[in-house]
Structure 1
């Protein structure tokens, strides 16, 4: 059935509305608490339910057939069932105007994987009873994808037959919201006034292309449910209520909460005036002494005690006077109280004036003129104390409002910074809960002296890093990211937190926790004291020279971290931003990889991730730049650039007037022209043999191969570098093979540009990006 046809059909039934229900509370009236609740000698309770007349249990204990109650003691506690033919519900509560019942009336429509559809229709029949379905306390609810419910019923005449209904659709683009039923996965509608019975039927809806669009949630199998119940008794769970595995769970939840509110009255199709006029044995007037008769909208009447009286208005002798003057909290007078039938009078003794009411002026002592001076002093003192108290109260309220405003702002920041997304991830993976601590703003403000400038370790394009000390004395680095302004940034931040929580490797900076209550999200990392590799090999004012052996160890550490990310972590991770400014050095000058803001986790059987091009100019894999497909070999390429930096001491983008500003192109050109020795860092040449740095240069050359399929894996690179570390190659009197000697021959300063070099002219990222913890991105 197409939507256009369906809307036409439902428009013929009347207006279709979608409302969100609120909890309905039936307030007990005094006919339940009085001593004359039931007829003399009749059972007063069934289980926990009080049965007031005109309802009753047993012969001559109720008004007429439909007011009769059967107390079924086979249940524990016993349950009360009305004497109505074909009814299948028990009574949970009775008040002066309504009863609440528990039903099993539900309509369903289920489709299996073969396309077979089964239907279940819900029916309720109370025609001829004193009960009508409350149209204000109940709601029609439909749960499911692309279905519509038709709700038909009537009052006590055929002319009152009516239909209504609502449509529940599902969208591939939009997620249903838990607790809301605007028609997306869940819809609600009310019913016309005065129905005594109804039928609920469910039908499928096809979209404009003729396809039942539920693939996002249900594949080829689905179940939808429609039911009529008390407002707020069922809370829609969102997308989880629409998934294949939850059909039976949702149905069971509905069945446990199928409570319905019914209105009741005496003698349908009559009125107070008519019954008073007739007052025959067949149609007696039931309102007793001190009561009033109230006409109901359904066409009957009810009895109620007059103001000042209490009791059961349907039982003789009727309602009795309430003695308001009995001492206690219900006494309305401050001093003297005189009770009268249905009323009372308050008065003040001699020497006092006023109305004597607790809700009014009360009784005020009359003061003579001789005490006027004392009165003025007392009045002044009272005013002064009143002003002081008022100021204290105002300050107290101001403090509370300010505190609530802070709490509200924290909640807004938490949601904007991806807190809900992080909570979902933590709920789905307990290992994330164990690995990540959620810090409060106050903890991190104390740790950084409220983020004063003296604590700043570095600033970058993506945030500022502060040095802090936690309450237990641990030194940490606290990264204050840029304020999140869109959903993509929120996802990137949560992505980095989740990825780092799954990494446990000595050469990866450890994330200790995060804080999302601050205006800008905060991340707490272990403190790495010796800055970035970029600073040590490129800064002319570096106080510490990185030796060749240290460079080899750093390369080995970085290779080990990437090999772990690619091959040994629980899920493969592509770092996507390998560069010297993202490599931190600890107190032993061992490397730790940082800044996972652009990292991407992939499935074990997935070879690449197709994303928008991100990274730092000079380190980007050319194939990734051209095709937008990032693989583990893209990280290998960036690692090769870092190896060349370690060999040459040059930056990835060289500050030079030469044509070749790309370090990669410059290095490959010298490799091809056998002039490698011209560009090797003098510190390296002094400390090691040509054979050693030739091996490392050849590894870098293979990592920088333009064909990613010919690049080695990081595991292979790690093994080769560790082999070099374990060797102690002689530095002198060794013969180098002719090809090796040719590669190291010193030549004049010429520039050679070969087809194998690759120079990126345009890039969205600058090589000036700084590290996550010392100079953050």
Structure 2
């Protein structure tokens, strides 16, 4: 405890990088220009280090350089990158992992160097806030494949994030822009510890003479705002490689906490505190959970130092901080805090931010005057408080109204009003919800209510006041270029009314990010049921046929039966949801476009999902109804084979090319899902396989329309139902001793009844699929 009445210069509390003691006794503080605070320390990385918290935090200081350089011990030889900076939560490394793929003038691959790194089991993750996947090229796309699962289960590379860079000549690229022309960037997932970056090309650099000015494509992880695209100069030679290695760091997040080999995660604060022997936070500190696993230690308010280093954080003497001293006259330092007071002859609270200290007047002022003065001050303070509170309430209400109006405009309210004025039917069935209603319905957007995450936002499960279950889509923060996509989804879903299309119930535009309210579809996506099947409930061949009919009917309605033809533009198995009866419903219309009846295509920037995109659309940027047909063909192949659109094997990554090659070689039966092969007859399977092949034809004009595709699937379903009904009749048929006449009569009756049922079924299905509810 100390007392002072003096003022000097301001002193900021010291942290783990600036404190007097940041290392264990006898351990170096620096390697060259790099400050190395505990839990990091210099060691060999092979065992218990005397200077670090553990071998994961060992750093190699190479004194052969002048000045010396520090290297990351996670790796060996050339895979030990140089450490450029260490902060309280992150580490910056020199970028040494750059993927490349080069071609000769004929499009032949002459070199292919992927980039990979493995930090699994370590306290480090590749920072999703500090890095971006960057691709340089004019006919190149890169996939960063990352692992999932736990150590006990074994890690598999089965998740992909991609980025596509295109251009036809170097004059097209824009210096400083990575928007997809010559250069593209995309975010990486949170918690990433292991990855592989691979490069591919749409045309192997053989079209438009790309190889003449850009023989190689490049991809790498780059720190946010540290890489700036240099335009045409980065397309030729290895200029971009050298510049990235020298100037663009890769950022790691770090944390502490024991590793749990069963869960595959590091201990949280609550878990770590159960074992004080290994708990890293010292005295006068508090623990903060890290989102990627593990935790950080921080000094308590009023304390400073390195929170990981014994004996912990020490008290900050606020009274010795000079001009930043909080007291106007007398300051008394206490543990973690301070007290201010006034000396004799002064009155006030002693705080610079309060009434400070005022010298008393030494005269014979009567007690009545003192009381009057005190009452006047008290009443005046109350009056000012009431007036201030009233003004605050008025201003708060005004600001709330202004803020809601501002959000309404920013979230596309004016654009929606334009659609309403031009078409009165756009929102006649749409309810406008308040922000309070949807916050209550989703329990303030609780993460436990999340149903899924998509390209345009996050979907929550909610319950309205009347008990109705709904899905609430909370869009990502939009810029002006994305407002059209959001309003486009509202307008399109208000125009369509079909049992196999997810129904839009309403929207809310008065929040920071726009909200859409849909009917709740309880049984998840077709993607989940095909690729992650539940052994207790499998999607049968008959159900797959019905799902294909439902999806085809919805698309046929959009293309030709709705009031205005609509192209969906993102047909994939994850956008086909299954209701309580496992009937299909199309969803996610954020990229859809409506067109005039006499219009054959729309020209847009390329949007969609790898594996489902129409190659013609890739080349021309012109989307037609046949582009939806191509994507539907990929879904048919998924239903037949049970394989993903981008397969996990290194050879034949594309499901479509794998399927078509087996069709050409008459080996299509070899690749069918075992359950489909067991339940379906050959003629039914061949009919659907041939339809999928037609839908995937590279020439869009040859592909069938969705109405024609629907008829083909219904014919296959009729074959299936006839075969099943015939089997049922055989199982229940009377014994062979029954008279011939009896058999003949029964057979005739059954034949007539079966034909009538089949005709009634087809008519009902067509009416159900093409006519709005």
TM-score by length of 1: 0.45
TM-score by length of 2: 0.45
